[in-house]
Amino acid sequence: MDVRLATRDDLYRIAELTRLLTVHMGAYEWEVENHLKHVTRRFNNSRYIHIVAVADGKVIAFTGAELKSGKSAYMFKGFVEEAYRRRGVMRVMEARLIEILRERGVNKIDLLVDTDNPEGRSTWIALGYKTIRETMRKYI
């Protein structure tokens, strides 16, 4: 497996994986082309860093982060294709992302995870993230 910074050629595949992520999260389903516009806008903005993992000749996972003011960054929800999960792909991508963020002076990463996403929560806990705040909601 190769983990590297995304290039422009990866954007369509990142958009496809982003669509799978939104389906997985039960969110509103955009077409790949809509995700591509969003992903391309971010890619063209130097505040965003995109990381991909390549295995068997194709991009099988992505993650990334947005540089925030001060020394902090906000990590995207990542996605690893189902067939490649639990093999340390996110662990390696996150480590690479941290290297890049440290080089840019970042010393703190925030992320959001849904309470009903146990695999997401377990992953971030395993990678050293701690809950610092909880969002509450009431349907009315």
Ligand X SMILES: CC(C)(COP(=O)(O)OP(=O)(O)OC[C@H]1O[C@@H](n2cnc3c(N)ncnc32)[C@H](O)[C@@H]1OP(=O)(O)O)[C@@H](O)C(=O)NCCC(=O)NCCS
- Under the rule (CB under 6 A), what is the footprint of ligand X? 21, 24, 77-80, 85-91, 113, 117, 119-120, 122-123, 126
| Least separation in angstroms between CB 87 and ligand X | 5
Residue with smaller CB distance to ligand X, 37 or 91: 91
Cα–chain center distance at 104? 18
In order, the DSSP letters of the chain are: -EEEE--GGGHHHHHHHHHHHHHHTT-----HHHHHHHHHHHHTSTTEEEEEEEETTEEEEEEEEEE-STTEEEEPPPEE-GGGTTSSHHHHHHHHHHHHHHHTT--EEE----TT-HHHHHHHHHTT------------
Residue with smaller CB distance to ligand X, 21 or 100: 21
Residue with smaller CB distance to ligand X, 7 or 122: 122
| Least separation in angstroms between CB 140 and ligand X | 26
Residue with smaller CB distance to ligand X, 44 or 64: 64
| Least separation in angstroms between CB 105 and ligand X | 25
Pairing label, strands 79-80, 72-75: unpaired
| Least separation in angstroms between CB 38 and ligand X | 17
| Least separation in angstroms between CB 67 and ligand X | 19
Residue with smaller CB distance to ligand X, 27 or 44: 27
